[in-house]
Chain A
Amino acid sequence: MIGQQIVNGVTLGSVYAMVAVALTLSIGVLNFLNFSIPGLFMIGGMTLWALLDAGIPWPFAVVGALVMAVAASLMVERFTWRWLRGAPHFVPLVSSMAFLLLFEHIAIAYWGSDMRVVPEAFSGGDWRIAGLVIGIPQLMGLLCSIALVAGLSWLLASTRTGRALRTIAEDPDTALLLGVDINRVVSVVFIVAGLFTALAGILFAINYRQVHPFMGEAVGLKGISAMIIGGMGNIWGSIVGGLIIGTTEVFAISYFGADFVDLAVFGLLLAILILRPTGLFRGMQPVRFGI
């Protein structure tokens, strides 16, 4: 029974982890808490449902949802980071919050606020190993997130773009002086945010088979918690944080009931913020979030 709980926790945690990676990259490189990410998560899940509902086959629906979320993310980039550089530090944060509201309510205007059911992706695809039930979508989700994060950390460590991103994280002005094309390179952060978050939304839709316009909020908030627990700006830390939050949630549900989950998760978050604000692992940049 505990084994199964861990499997379920890891499944949920891998969704949180992907959202947390998108958040942490944005914080680490741009020092920008991108509140539109829960909206991108919802766009991924709901576009998938809408395309499937229109009779479009699975692979195309998945690609369509990803493209939609990346396009939305690039729109966020235009109006937050790019336009507002040099503005007071909370301004991009505020604009990204407005984007979250915008995305959610456009979705309601288009699709209504009902819960929608996503059709089953793989019929009869459960593996039973030593009494544990592991769904293929669950396994796929975990593998996907590990592969993507490995890809991202390779990108950051060994490519020209990655080096440019790390320079921007260190000091944007110096990066500009050294000839980094900031606008082009920063787009990568937003493309990654759209891609990772939408994929998390798609996995969520496949695993739990339901989507609705506010689906991003709860997951986004837990993604933020996962990011902080893992240390802001630390990509692998986010994965660990996501898995911790996911398993905490699953165990809290089974031992104390569903109403207790938020208390446990956000209590953990507050405790970490007070006792060890840098999180479990060191981030990409030295802490420079002073006002």
Chain B
Amino acid sequence: MSGYFEGVLVLLAINVVFAYGAYLPLAAGQLNLGIAGFAAVGAYGSAYLSDTFAIHPILAIPIGAMFAGLIALLVAVPVLRTRGIYLALATFAVGQIVRAAILNLEFLGGAAGYPVSAFVGLPVVLGFALAVIVVVMVLFATRFGIALRAVQDDERVADLMGVEVRGFQMAAFILGAAVAGIGGGLYAHHFSYIEAQYFNIGLSISIVLYVLLGGTQTAWGPLIGATVFTLLPELLRGSASLRYVVFAAGVIVLMALRPQGLLTRATIQRLFDWRNPPIPGVPMASGRGQ
């Protein structure tokens, strides 16, 4: 396998993990703009463990992810009191604070960055990505997934139907942060060097864009979105900035033509459930097509 192809696959796997980290809260109707901050906690946490205590990366990465989940738990209580645009801004502030805190922590290298000596190769990265995909898919096939979907569709109705809205939102938020932490840990241990500047708002925005482009209605959306928008720019020869221009233009056009994202429940039903096709013009009930 050529080095280039391997590099693209690693990038793809990490982007997919990040995308699921942003997807979990989005599936409960919450826009987390601080996802890069939680990825940073996972990256620095696992790198510190594997560096200082010589813990194997395969163990250090999940522990780092637990750190990210723990931070999310700490901020979830006050932050999830806010809603809508306030919530997006509060998570954005959390992400910025994490980045700023790392810049001020000397034992994490501050602004100079943090070299990571332990290394994980492509198989481990792919393994973790696959595990994340499977876990999220399974999770969304259970009561948890149905409840989240109900919350996303209409919070008030879900509440009336006896769904513990706040509990599910918190769980999705914390779980999403932990998944983003796994992505950060993989990034740190594959690229052997991390700096706080990488985990900036631009990263959060790109991750959220992957998910929204793929569509938030089904658990396949983030996979599709991250894959298409990681691979598509790679097909273009040219400078990195040109790729971003194409990516951004793609987002704008796609959002204008298909604001619900590439993959919707109706699409899946149309493609795979030929006995029970969606009726045009009739909004689909959440329970249909299962």
Contact = CB atoms under 8 A, between A and B. Distances in A.
A105 B242 contact: yes
Contacts of B247: 98, 101
B87 to A, nearest CB: 8
B201 A84 contact: no
Given A263-B97, A266-B100, A99 B252 contact: yes
B166 to A, nearest CB: 13
Interface of B: 29-31, 78-79, 81-86, 88-90, 92-94, 96-97, 99-101, 103-104, 110-111, 155, 200-202, 205-206, 208-209, 212, 239, 241-242, 244-245, 247-249, 251-252, 255-256, 259-260
B195 to A, nearest CB: 13
B255 A106 contact: no
Interface string A71-90: 00000000100011001111
A217 B92 CA distance: 13
Nearest to A98: B251
Interface string A188-205: 000000000000000000
Contacts of A100: 205
Given A105-B244, A109-B245, A277 B103 contact: no
B96 A262 contact: yes
Contacts of B259: 84, 87-88, 91
Nearest to B85: A289
Given A88-B259, A228-B89, A270 B29 contact: no
A217 B244 CA distance: 16
A273 B206 CA distance: 24
Contacts, number: 140
Chain A CB within 10 A, most for which of B30, B79, B104: B104
Contacts of A274: 78-79, 81-82, 90
A266 B248 contact: no
Contact of B104 (A88, A228, A259): A259
Contact of B97 (A83, A98, A270): A270
Contacts of B96: 221, 262, 266
Given A94-B251, A259-B104, A102 B83 contact: no
A283 to B, nearest CB: 12
Size range of the chain A interface in the assembly: 35 or more
A270 B110 CA distance: 22
Interface of A: 27, 31, 33, 35, 79, 83-84, 87-91, 93-95, 97-102, 104-106, 108-109, 113, 217, 221, 224-225, 228, 232, 259-263, 266-267, 269-270, 273-274, 277, 289-291
A224 B91 CA distance: 13
A239 B285 CA distance: 47
A104 to B, nearest CB: 8
Interface majority SS on B: helix, strand, loop or mixed? helix
> 7 shortest A-B CB distances, which residue pairs?
A262-B100, A98-B251, A102-B248, A289-B84, A105-B244, A108-B241, A101-B248
Contacts of A262: 96-97, 99-100, 103
A76 to B, nearest CB: 9
Contacts of A79: 252, 255-256
B255 A84 contact: yes
B201 A221 contact: yes
Given A259-B104, A270-B94, A274-B79, A106 B251 contact: no
A95 B251 contact: yes
Contact of B84 (A87, A263, A290): A290
B89 A224 contact: yes
A200 to B, nearest CB: 19
Contacts of B29: 291
A265 to B, nearest CB: 8
Contacts of B201: 217, 221
B202 A263 contact: no
